[in-house]
């Protein structure tokens, strides 16, 4: 439930914060020929952090406000975006995207701190590059799911708010005075 959501969000946001700071400092080094990607990567990482926290907070709030139970349950997601239903409904897909996203962040950190000299006897550079080739698609797909989750949860919250407001606008029946 909530504790699971908070610990997951804190771990992801911690990784993204460290990466943002590391890549920002790397892009500011006078000896680094900063590519456009290196210059915009810190901003992209901040955007991913904001998307992550917003989409998951809205998902949690929508499931609690609509009394639908756990935010990952089929009941909580029955009227949500099909991609969100699939994400929470198929554990292997959920696991691949979650693990792939977190490993992408860890591998980006490792890659940033690797010594890229030609004396790589353990071929670590090749392993990291290969792992990124597997994990980056999962991370990208996770961001698509996060956008779907955010829009779907916001829609559910807006629907509930409209129902509550409409119910409050209904005229109250007159009560007859009993003598």
- Token pair, residue 158, equals 């807006």
Tally: H helices and E strands in the chain: 5, 0
73 pLDDT tier (thresholds 50, 70, 90): low
Helix (H, G, I), strand (E, B) or coil at 122: coil
CA distance 45 to 38: 11
Residues with Cβ within 8 Å of 108's Cβ and at least 6 positions away in sequence, in order, are 19, 23, 132
The pTM assigned to this predicted structure is 0.80
Tokens (6 digits) for 17? 């914060």
Closest CA to 60 of 12, 107, 3: 3
Q: How far apart are the first and last CA of the chain?
A: 53
Farthest CA pair distance, the chain:
99
pLDDT digits (tens, 9 = 90+) for 12-38: 999 999 999 998 888 887 766 667 777
Element (H, E) at 98: helix 91-113
For residue 19, the model assigns a pLDDT of 94
Q: Which residue has the higher pLDDT, 51 or 69?
A: 51
Token pair recorded at residue 14: 């911690």
DSSP string, 148-179: HHHHHHHHHHHHHHHHHHHHHTSPPPPPPPP-
Helix (H) or strand (E) holding 42: helix 36-65
User: Cα separation of 78 and 81, whole Å?
Assistant: 9
């Amino acid at each position: 439930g909530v504790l699971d959501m908070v610990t997951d969000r804190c771990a992801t946001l911690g990784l993204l914060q460290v990466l943002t700071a590391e890549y920002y400092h790397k892009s500011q080094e006078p000896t680094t020929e900063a590519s456009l990607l290196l210059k915009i990567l810190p901003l992209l990482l901040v955007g991913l952090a904001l998307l992550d926290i917003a989409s998951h907070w809205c998902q949690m709030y929508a499931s609690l406000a609509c009394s639908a139970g756990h935010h990952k349950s089929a009941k909580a997601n029955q009227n949500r975006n099909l991609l969100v239903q699939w994400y929470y409904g198929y554990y292997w897909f959920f696991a691949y995207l979650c693990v792939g996203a977190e490993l992408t962040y860890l591998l980006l950190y490792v890659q940033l701190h690797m010594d890229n000299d030609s004396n790589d006897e353990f071929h670590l550079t090749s392993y990291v590059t290969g792992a990124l080739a597997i994990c980056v698609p999962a991370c990208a797909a996770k961001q698509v799911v996060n956008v779907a989750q955010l829009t779907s949860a916001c829609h559910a919250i807006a629907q509930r708010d409209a129902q509550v407001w409409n119910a409050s606008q209904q005229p109250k029946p007159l009560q007859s005075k009993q003598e």
